[in-house]
Amino acid sequence: MNNHTKKSIVKAYASKPETAMDKTTRIVKGMVDEEAEKRQAKITRLRNARLEREASTPTETKATTARKNRGS
């Protein structure tokens, strides 16, 4: 008789093989994450530039001019 064990008959994979759809999903998620990081960096850079510009610009006070009421 053959001395087959359960291990030798059924091959156990450490993880299931990656399908084409899984591969595509992984690549697209990587691209989306990279774009999100770039967008966040741009937003941060622009926000800092705006805050710096606002801090260096003196505040303007609007002089209110009184309107003369014209009689009829």
Domain ranges of the chain: 19-55
Write out the two tokens for 46.
Answer: 């622009």
48: pLDDT confidence band, cut at 50, 70 and 90?
A: very high
Spatial distance between the Cα atoms of 69 and 72, rounded to a whole number of angstroms: 9
Across the range 57-67, mean pLDDT stands at 65
Spatial distance between the Cα atoms of 26 and 29, rounded to a whole number of angstroms: 5
5: pLDDT confidence band, cut at 50, 70 and 90?
A: low
Q: Is the pLDDT of residue 72 over 60?
A: no
Which pLDDT value is given to residue 8? 61
Spatial distance between the Cα atoms of 1 and 49, rounded to a whole number of angstroms: 80
Which pLDDT value is given to residue 29? 98
Instruction: Select the more confidently predicted residue: 49 or 57.
Output: 49
Spatial distance between the Cα atoms of 52 and 65, rounded to a whole number of angstroms: 31
Model-level pTM?
Answer: 0.53
